[in-house]
Amino acid sequence: MDYVVETKEVGRFTVKIHADSHMDLQDAVCDEPVAIYGDRGFEILDQTKTNLPTYGVLRAIESGCAESAMDEMSGYYLEWEWQNGKVRVENSDWYRPRYYKTAESACAAMFEYEHGFPMSDMRVEQFGDYRSTFLLVFLQSELDAYAGGKNAISCRDTCQNIVDGEVYGFDILDANGDSVESCWGFIGDADYCLKEAVAVAESLENDAVESDAIAFAATVEATRPDMYQGAVA
């Protein structure tokens, strides 16, 4: 079992909040249409329905370097160069080269030709720690459709919390030290996990108090039937 973060007594019950190290990045996103890549480009997860760019293009886009992204996209049928202060892009499918005023506009045009959707719809978000860097990639339109509305937010913070170890669970012990209730997978805030655990423990305590009262009344009735007979009369 993971180490105990906090302990709290609730009546006859003891609440223990544990760090939960059993969740990984695949658990962070459930079935959302996102992709996650490791710091060397290996694919951890891809649940998108889209032909995503190569890892090199994704890294260049995330860093904001349009020229690097164009270099990554260049190949046999798609090439670019600066010419007379403009970006000249050649494509084997085009009758003539096309010219763009900025590297950003040229990159966007090359990207949409290459992948079939606008670069502005793709989000590339970095997260991680001193050991590893990850990329979370998704199409905003695809995530909006999944979420059933506009302005859907990504699961980047959830991923970051898992990398940081900000995942918790609780265990509730009775007076004998036996576990009577537990729940795991609280992401991002130990205080929320504690609040939920205390609520469960308080419910258990209330039930126990009620059971004690019922048991006490039954004992009194069995040993002092005259008290109950008088009450009934």
Instruction: Please check whether residue 158 lies inside any domain of the structure.
Output: no
36 with 136, same domain?
yes
pTM: 0.77
The model's pLDDT over 171-213, given as tens digits with 9 standing for 90+, comes to: 999 999 999 999 999 998 899 999 999 999 999 999 988 887 7
Confidence bin at 28 (pLDDT 50/70/90): confident
Sheet holding 98-100, edge to edge: 78-83, 86-91, 98-100
> Is the per-residue pLDDT at 218 higher than 80?
no
Domain boundary among 118, 150, 182: 150
Instruction: Please check whether residue 209 lies inside any domain of the structure.
Output: yes
Print the domain residue range for 208.
4-21+166-232
16 with 29, same domain?
no
46 with 131, same domain?
yes
> Is the per-residue pLDDT at 219 higher than 90?
no
> Is the per-residue pLDDT at 66 higher than 90?
yes
144 with 29, same domain?
yes
63 with 174, same domain?
no
The model's pLDDT over 103-153, given as tens digits with 9 standing for 90+, comes to: 999 999 999 999 999 999 999 999 998 888 999 999 999 988 888 766 677
Count structural domains, the chain.
2
100 with 184, same domain?
no
The region, left, alpha or beta by phi > 0 then psi within -120 to 50, assigned to residue 24 is beta
pLDDT of residue 233: 47
12 with 50, same domain?
no
pLDDT of residue 231: 53
110 with 133, same domain?
yes
Domain boundary among 125, 150, 175: 150
137 with 39, same domain?
yes
Confidence bin at 228 (pLDDT 50/70/90): low
Q: Please, what is the average pLDDT of the chain?
A: 89
136 with 208, same domain?
no
Domain boundary among 150, 177, 202: 150
Task: Please state, as a whole number, how many other Cβ atoms lie within 10 Å of the Cβ of residue 35.
Answer: 20
Percentage of the chain lying above the pLDDT 90 cut = 62
Q: What is the rounded distance in angstroms from the CA atom of residue 179 to the CA atom of residue 172?
A: 6
Instruction: Please check whether residue 159 lies inside any domain of the structure.
Output: no
Instruction: Please check whether residue 157 lies inside any domain of the structure.
Output: no
pLDDT of residue 172: 96
Phi, psi of 86 (to 5 degrees): -125, 165
